[in-house]
Amino acid sequence: MRMEQAQKTMPRKKYANIFLITGVAVFVFGLLFGLLFYTKKVYDLPWYLCIVGACIAGYGVYQRNNTGKLGEEVCFSRQQSKAFFLKYALIFALFVMIVIIAIISPNFLQFDVCLDILSQSSIRLIIALGICPTILIAGTDLSAGRMVGLAAVISASMLQVPTYANRFFPNLPALPVFIPIIIAILVCGVFGMLNGLLVAKFNMHPFIATLATQVIIYGICSLYFDLPPNHSQPIGGIKNDFTIIAQKKIGGKVSILIPIAILVTVIMWFVLNKTVFGKNIYAIGGNMEAARVSGVNVFMTLIGIFALAGILYGFGGVLEAARTAGATNNYGEGYELDAIAACCVGGVSLAGGIGKISGIVIGVLIFTVIQYGLQFIGVSPMWQQVIKGVIIAVAVAVDLSKYKKVLWH
């Protein structure tokens, strides 16, 4: 009886209209503010308000179009409110961080800053998308960063200009750009398959298997990097037709890395949500034995998961070499930790079987905003690490409370 009294309802059409009207009002306010009362003190805030208003109105339109499907009444209760805020906690956290940084330093509201954040997030997002399936099976991949470094060194070493004084391969003829790129990605894919084989064939925990390959890959990369006549010198003199794949600006402002990351995100969303392989990943993460009994080829799926991860790490490493126009054997160091943290913050459950691509995108953006924003307002790098650690701990605590899964007994 108390529960019935505490719960209130609203017609879904009215609920949708509230969002629609609010969104239109915010959009119009932002538009008028920008056209009539714009000052440099607020930078691009009016246009951000237009974007926020359009998103709110879009949600209202979505609710109106799905009235019959979603039911005629919207229920409100303390429990549902809590579930709502837990579901969208990441978006609220990201919004709060942006507001706080913008209050401290209003020039953070420039579109150029937003584009820089998206550009810096792009390669990190590709690596996080690679590591996501390994976490979905209640595992992880500690070799990601070293694969990034290996791919960067391999691709950069074969794509130097002929006139560069310290060429890695002095007698190597000019190669088409795509050949070293494919070689680097395939090498990482092979190491990914090795990870999968250790996990699937020998029932080795992914933490141990990928820790072993992490050390092996770094050793091999260092040996390769130390080959004469290079002798561990940073690789430079990279061809322009290679660097342009990561340094090109669309329209003079938008980094080409942003549409590349969007494309990879869409592909991974399709793989995880619309293919048998993706459904098998979630099944194995939920209960491996049940998946095996139901006919899932667990052996091949595990190998496929880590091979796909290796390919994405390799692609990220190639883009990193192109972005920086060089490489060393220390490229990618620690990238796997940032990727794992972004996945956890993005709602990928460490217990396996739960996680969305949209959450990973937000998780990567949160960490990029933290790093970029705190540097922007002059916060000490030591405090940045403290803040990142607190966010990771809170995110995992929320994850455990949300899904009621306990990893350690």
Residues 342-367 pLDDT 10s: 998 888 888 889 899 998 998 899 88
Residue predicted with more confidence, 38 or 192: 192
* Structure confidence at residue 1 (pLDDT): 42
pLDDT at 407 over 50: no
Domain ranges in the chain? 1-87, 113-337
* Structure confidence at residue 252 (pLDDT): 86
Structure-block tokens of residue 309: 């991860």
* Structure confidence at residue 241 (pLDDT): 95
pLDDT single digits (tens) 179-202: 999 999 999 999 999 999 999 999
pLDDT range class, residue 38, cuts 50, 70, 90: low
Average pLDDT over residues 253-273: 96
* Structure confidence at residue 404 (pLDDT): 55
* Structure confidence at residue 7 (pLDDT): 67
**What percent of the chain has a predicted confidence (pLDDT) above 90?**
60
Is residue 22 within 8 Å of 38, Cβ to Cβ? no
pLDDT at 271 over 70: yes
pLDDT at 67 over 60: no
Torsion angle of C-alpha atoms 80, 81, 86, 92, degrees rounded to 10 = 150
Q: State how far the alpha carbon of 104 is from the alpha carbons of 41, 57, 201, 242, in Å.
A: 12, 29, 54, 39
pLDDT single digits (tens) 215-255: 999 999 999 999 999 999 999 999 999 999 999 999 989 99
Is residue 327 within 8 Å of 156, Cβ to Cβ? yes
Angle at 60 between CA 57 and CA 64, to 5 degrees: 140
pLDDT at 142 over 70: yes
* Structure confidence at residue 89 (pLDDT): 72
Average pLDDT over residues 160-178: 93
pLDDT at 106 over 80: yes
* Alpha carbon distance 86, 409 (integer Å): 24
pLDDT range class, residue 405, cuts 50, 70, 90: very low
pLDDT at 54 over 60: yes
> What pTM was estimated for this model as a whole?
0.90
Average pLDDT over residues 70-90: 70
Q: Return mean pLDDT, the chain.
A: 89
Residue predicted with more confidence, 140 or 93: 140
* Structure confidence at residue 172 (pLDDT): 92
* Structure confidence at residue 399 (pLDDT): 63
pLDDT range class, residue 3, cuts 50, 70, 90: very low
* Structure confidence at residue 4 (pLDDT): 47
Residue predicted with more confidence, 6 or 198: 198
Average pLDDT over residues 162-186: 94
* Structure confidence at residue 55 (pLDDT): 92
